[in-house]
Amino acid sequence: MRVAIIGGGAAGFFSAISAKTNHSNAEVVLFEKTDKPLAKVRISGGGRCNVTHACHGARKLASNYPRGERFLRKAFEQFAVKDTVDWFAQRNVDLKTELDGRMFPTTDDSRSVITALMDEAEQLKIQVRLKCAVIGIERSGDRFQVSLSNDCVELYDRVIVTTGGSPKPETYSWLKALGHTIVPPAPSLFTFNMPADPIRELMGVVVPARVRIIGTDVESKGPLLITHWGMSGPAILRASAWGARVLQERGYNFSVQINWLAGMSEDHARQFLTEHADEFDRKQIGNANPFTLPKRFWSFILNKAGVSSESIWSQIPKKDKNRMIDLLTNDRYEVRGKTTFKEEFVTAGGISLEEVSPFTMQSTVVPELYLPVRCWTSMGSPVASIFKRHGQQAISQAC
């Protein structure tokens, strides 16, 4: 049996090793179009490689993904987090769990993962062909005719496609030509641009917030990071993932409503503020902040509400308090465009999940063609690096 693996990323190496381990007589050939196999593994998790997440239970793990929950639940039931941990342990890569659930090699170095995958591929005599792109696959009797960028055409009995995600529709053209339905791809992890909005002066400030995308049912909670271009952090990245489709339809021009008190209700905030004003009636409002918000952020809100930070709490008229409460629980911003978070993006869409078996990853349209993916394990990873930069504790909300 000849097996072609297309793509030398994490999914490609894992597939090649599994194919050869389960079919020791098979000839397994892995094609990688660049000269850098496992390039993304090297940079993942800030160079530490966030291998998986300590979320045991297929249902719970799947519920943390914005789409494809049923498919993922079935897939995770076949190969769970514990299987991943054991798989790496058998290859001398022990994983450790951080406080937020993210799991890294104990070496804190993605090279441990790369070495384990490469060494095993070599030991199993898997042929890794670098700078060799697959440009087409066609059925030829009961085999596949695989066309390569060097003008060669080779025959294989099984083909495993592990080319990773891509937001460009043309990437999927040869899979479409085989009869697959392509769900239009959409970027699914990005930050929000707010050109010219004064909030950007607060870059680096983190506030626990609830974000709602106006006119949709997309809502997320978590730390929000103000950046020099707009907003980022877990609350924003999560909203971008859940709202990927609707935000693409709107051309990334939309309004967001932000509650800067982690979702506290208006009534509760009013009560809190009134009690605070009574208790600290002789203190300057700029120095006696009722919600333990970052000082720079509190000054920004006061300024936006038109309240002098030198005023005494007892002098603040009711209408100013109402304005402050409105800003804290119901602030609004206009988003004009998106930015990818470095190169870390996830693509929604691609081959329809209806056409892939979650049990085997085999295509239901083209027998003996397999379409596995390596799922992004967590939204904790990019967030953690932002937070470390600003000396805050990382809080990962998603598995």
Ligand X SMILES: Cc1cc2nc3c(=O)[nH]c(=O)nc-3n(C[C@H](O)[C@H](O)[C@H](O)COP(=O)(O)OP(=O)(O)OC[C@H]3O[C@@H](n4cnc5c(N)ncnc54)[C@H](O)[C@@H]3O)c2cc1C
User: Quick count: other Cβ atoms within 10 Å of Cβ 155?
Assistant: 12
Q: Which of 133, 182, 246, 312 binds ligand X (CB under 6 A)?
A: 133
The residue among 236, 153, 175 whose CA lies nearest residue 369 is 175
CB nearer to ligand X: pick between 167 and 290: 167
Q: Assess 34 for contact with ligand X (CB under 6 A).
A: yes
Binders of ligand X among residues 7 to 26 (CB under 6 A) are 7-12
Q: How far is the CB of 188 from ligand X (least distance, A)?
A: 12
DSSP class per residue in 7-69: --SHHHHHHHHHHHHH-TTSEEEEE-SSS-TTHHHHHGGGGT---EE---SHHHHHHTSSS-H
What is the C-alpha radius of gyration for the chain, rounded to an integer number of angstroms?
25
Q: Assess 4 for contact with ligand X (CB under 6 A).
A: no
CB nearer to ligand X: pick between 4 and 235: 4
Q: Assess 342 for contact with ligand X (CB under 6 A).
A: yes
The interface region with ligand X, picked from 117-125, 179-187, 294-302, 371-379 by CB under 6 A, is 371-379
Q: Assess 222 for contact with ligand X (CB under 6 A).
A: no
Q: How far is the CB of 224 from ligand X (least distance, A)?
A: 21
The residue among 81, 79, 11 whose CA lies nearest residue 41 is 11
CB nearer to ligand X: pick between 166 and 392: 166
Q: Assess 373 for contact with ligand X (CB under 6 A).
A: yes
Non-local CB neighbours of 212 within 8 Å, separated by 6+ positions: 218, 219, 256, 257, 258, 259
Q: Assess 386 for contact with ligand X (CB under 6 A).
A: no
Q: Assess 365 for contact with ligand X (CB under 6 A).
A: no
Q: Which of 377, 387, 394, 397 binds ligand X (CB under 6 A)?
A: 377
Q: Tell me which residue has tokens 């066309």.
A: 147
CA 392 to chain centre: 20
Q: Which of 16, 29, 50, 260 binds ligand X (CB under 6 A)?
A: 50
For 320-324, which contacts have Cβ atoms below 8 Å and span 24 or more sequence positions? 321/270, 321/273, 321/274, 321/277, 322/270, 324/273
Residue number with the smallest Cβ distance to ligand X: 9
The amino acid at residue 369 is L
Task: Determine the Cα–Cα distance for residues 70 and 189; give it in Å rounded to an integer.
Answer: 21
Name the 3-class secondary structure at 108: coil
Q: Which of 112, 163, 329, 397 binds ligand X (CB under 6 A)?
A: 163
Q: Assess 350 for contact with ligand X (CB under 6 A).
A: no
The residue among 125, 124, 56 whose CA lies nearest residue 86 is 56
Q: Assess 336 for contact with ligand X (CB under 6 A).
A: no
Q: Assess 164 for contact with ligand X (CB under 6 A).
A: yes
Q: Assess 232 for contact with ligand X (CB under 6 A).
A: no
The interface region with ligand X, picked from 3-11, 190-198, 247-255, 324-332 by CB under 6 A, is 3-11
Q: How far is the CB of 355 from ligand X (least distance, A)?
A: 18
Q: Tell me which residue has tokens 């300590």.
A: 54
Task: Determine the Cα–Cα distance for residues 359 and 129; give it in Å rounded to an integer.
Answer: 29
Q: Which of 5, 17, 95, 134 binds ligand X (CB under 6 A)?
A: 134
Q: How far is the CB of 303 from ligand X (least distance, A)?
A: 37
Q: How far is the CB of 192 from ligand X (least distance, A)?
A: 19
Residues of this chain that interact with ligand X (CB under 6 A) are: 6-12, 31-34, 39-41, 43-45, 50, 133-134, 162-164, 342-344, 373-374, 376-377, 381
